[in-house]
Amino acid sequence: MICNQHFIGSDVKSFQNFQDAKVLITGITGFKGSWLALTLLSLGVKVYGIALQPTEKSSLFYLCNLDEKCTVFYEDIRNDASVSSLILTISPDFIFHLAAQALVPSSISDPLYTWSTNVIGSANVLNSLRTLNSPCACVVITSDKCYMNNEWIWGYREIDKLGGSDPYSASKASAELVFSSFFETYFINHSLISISSARAGNVIGGGDWSPDRLIPDCIKHWRNGTTLLLRSPHSTRPWQHVLEPITGYMQLALSLHSNHLLSGESFNFGPNPSENTSVVEVVNLLSTYLAGSLKYEVDNPLNIKESSLLSLDASKAKSLLDWSPALTCPDAILWTAEWYQSFYDYPSNINSLTTHQISKFFN
């Protein structure tokens, strides 16, 4: 069920302002990057990308032929010379910086790669804007994990303390510091460049195959008929469909482009507090929407300390950007289940289904 129809309808009209623009997405080959590219393409936008080349043919990037629909440069975001050269050559009107190492277990096994990608990669993108001589609005996407988690029941606000007890969370907090330092040093009075950061909650949706993430792990065990080992089943998270933060990022970029006073600001994008759902509730809901059973047991094989409570306060985005979440948590899980069920039942139709979900979200 889609709510807040007025917002969604007016949002489609405002997004038409992207049509004549050049939009660059770093991390375009990833899960969120691919959904963002598809959403922009549905509006007729010219999309460019900088990213590592996907290794799996089942990636959403390949499934939806984004390598043919977008101009993509396969470069490591940590290579400052390449990043700077490409951004100056493309001269984009908008940049969405999503390139990152986004997994907590991977950050623990390889912290240096996580730090260099998430911190130095962000610095490389922002540093390249210093020599760009054309207007550009840049949205730096970090994570809700950038906040120092105090296990309190209310949502974190953009003014709350940053921090992190694992390399991934700490690197995202550090990326926020990189963002704010570049703004204060180089862009606070810049007439052409506007930058902002965006922090989203736990994102779900079709086409995510990342290991050690709840939904992809559920899908793997569902298909194999094996038992999922569930970490922290009663932990609550701000689950939301991927299209929620993506439209938030887009709304922020357009607002940033037209209102320079938003430059240097950070914004949360998350569900309404009543939609925060526990891990086990998500698994049970997903199981009801999939054909066949999904078995699980409680375990913590990696001995990873995870927070039990995490919530975002998105009041600032609602007030200043006129953004609001559109889907309930059960709806987001239903759409996700429909995507994976279709992927296995009708694989040749997955491109059409994905674009249909984007259209359905807006209409």
94 closest CA partner among 199, 198, 250: 250
Q: How far apart are CA 168 and CA 143, in angstroms?
A: 10
Model confidence band, residue 306 (pLDDT cutoffs 50, 70, 90) = low
Pick the more confident residue, 274 or 222: 222
Identify the bridge partners of residue 295 per DSSP, sorted by sequence position.
Answer: 227
**How far is the CA of 18 from the CAs of 45, 204, 216, 255, 362, in angstroms?**
6, 25, 32, 12, 16
Which DSSP string do the residues of 5-17 spell out, in sequence order?
HHHHHHHHHHHGG
Domain ranges (residues) in the chain? 5-362
Q: Are 102 and 168 in contact (CB under 8 A)?
A: yes
Q: From the centroid of its chain, how far is CA 283?
A: 21
pLDDT for 11: 53
Confidence of residue 151 (pLDDT cuts 50, 70, 90): confident
3-state class percentages of the chain: helix first, strand second, coil last, to nearest 5: 50, 15, 35
In the DSSP assignment, the letter for residue 2 is: B
Q: Does the structure show a pLDDT above 70 at 307?
A: no
State residue 3's pLDDT score: 33
Alpha-carbon distance of 249 to 27, in angstroms, equals 14
Measure the CA angle with vertex 193, ends 97 and 318; round to 5°.
Answer: 65
3-state secondary structure of 220: helix
**pLDDT single digits (tens) 243-269:** 999 999 999 999 999 999 999 999 999
Confidence (pLDDT) at 210: 93
Query: Would you place residue 234 in the very low, low, confident or very high pLDDT band (cuts 50, 70, 90)?
Result: confident
pTM (two decimals): 0.93
With cut-offs at 50, 70 and 90, classify the pLDDT of residue 331: very high
Residue with tokens 């357009």: 254
Q: Tokens 């240096």 label which residue?
A: 112
Measured N-to-C along each axis, helices 329-345 and 350-362 cross at an angle, to the nearest 10 degrees, of 160
Helix H or strand E segment including 138? strand 136-141
* Mean pLDDT, residues 308-328 taken together: 90
Question: Nearest CA to 123 among 268, 26, 206?
Answer: 26
CA distance 48 to 25: 6
Whether residue 135 contacts residue 126, with contact meaning beta carbons closer than 8 Å, is answered with: no
| pLDDT for position 305 | 52
- Check if the beta carbon of residue 262 is closer than 8 Å to that of residue 330: no
Consecutive H or E run containing 297 = strand 295-298
Per-residue pLDDT, 4: 33
Q: Which of 1-15, 258-272, 318-332 is the least confident region?
A: 1-15
Alpha-carbon gap, residue 234 to 27, rounded angstroms: 31
172 alpha carbon, distance to own chain's centre: 13
pLDDT at 315: 96
Average pLDDT, the chain: 91
pLDDT of residue 23: 98
User: With respect to CATH, is domain 5-362 assigned 2.120.10.30?
Assistant: no
What is the reported pLDDT for 12? 61
Paired sense of beta strands 94-97 and 136-141, if any: parallel
Nearest to 20 by CA among 40, 46, 48: 46
Q: Is residue 344 pLDDT above 80, yes or no?
A: yes
- State the Cα–Cα distance between residues 269 and 103, nearest whole angstrom: 19
Percentage of the chain surpassing pLDDT 90?
A: 80
Give the three-state DSSP class for 113: helix
pLDDT above 50 (res 145): yes
d(CA 312, CA 265): 16
Tens-place pLDDT, residues 78-136: 999 999 999 999 999 999 999 999 999 999 999 999 999 999 999 999 999 999 999 99
* C-alpha neighbours within 13 Å on the C-beta side of residue 78: 11
Q: How many CA atoms lie within 13 A of 353 on its CB side?
A: 21
| Amino acid 175: pLDDT | 98
Distance CA 143, CA 170 (A): 10
